[in-house]
Structure 1
Amino acid sequence: MEYVKAIKADNQKIFNLVYDKYHSQIYGFILQRTQSTYIAEEVTQLTFIKLWKQRHIISEQLAINIQLFGMARQVMIDLLRKEATRFKYEGDSAVTPFTDSLIDAIESKDLLQLMEHDIQNMPKMRRLVFELSRKQGLSHKEIAQLFSISPKTVEQHIGKALLQLKQHLYSIML
């Protein structure tokens, strides 16, 4: 969080430190998803440019690495969409390396990973109740019997879990 405050205060030394620390990680993250060194290089550079341009509006509530990877993911998706559109309008549809299905697959995989991470970080009982309900398909009554709690308590755990997931997803989309 200290990095965020320093960058928001126009501290270029800290920005350079963050750049040095996360450049190769962002590059690897994008390269793994796209298998393109060109796109990985472009997205990495554009991500740090975006960070500097938007430094005054970045969140002090989230660590810099979380915000950087979120920006990189969004920049990657934007770039892939632009490439797909460019190929489409150039009429070279037989050689389209990036399609909407690729973009959708990347978005879905990233979203599932984020959600799974959030679920694993929930309080133990909330996580267990949520997983039994959503992943194993047990009813509220069945879960209540399993843990000797009321169905209303099960409902509250699930409601809190969903709210936690929604809030985190909303904060990422900003």
Structure 2
Amino acid sequence: MLNDVLIFKKIKDGDIETFEQVFRQYYLPLYMYSFGIIGRKDAAEEIVQELFYVLWRDREALNIVRSMKSYLYGAVRNQSLQYFEHQYVKERHRENILSRKLEASETTAQEQIEYKELQNIINRTLEQLPERRLRIFRMHRMEGRKYKEIAQLLSVSIKTVEAEMTKAYQILRQEIEKYTHAS
């Protein structure tokens, strides 16, 4: 244990030779340990390399009270398990996206045709509205204006705006019902 304390101190003080000695001694066993957990060579290699990189980068903050071996193996085990969790989350996310794409692609051509027909009916109905009613409808529904603002802009009462919107909705509802009952 005293030997490990000295090794940690030397690494903490920036002794590159001691760090390289630890790297050479533990790299292959740690790689094999990680590979045994996750079964992927590239990922195991990356995990061990990242461990040594972080160990050197953050060496001044090292405060290790365990043995070098248990510290390194514990870190590799934790990173390997995190890798598994990350892969699981990625796979679930990928499956979720594929499922959504599949559901979206199941929209039938018939549904698309019906949607276009309905849009045409709405547009034709709006074009037939009296000019003031159409203007009020567009200001409210397309521009997002409040009834009070529309009334001020057009110099009419709020009740007039409400009445015109009610009539516009009634006409639209009637035309849409005709379409849906005919289908």
Rg comparison, structure with higher value: 2
State TM-score, norm by structure 1.
0.48
Query: What TM-score do you get using the length of structure 2 for normalisation?
Result: 0.46
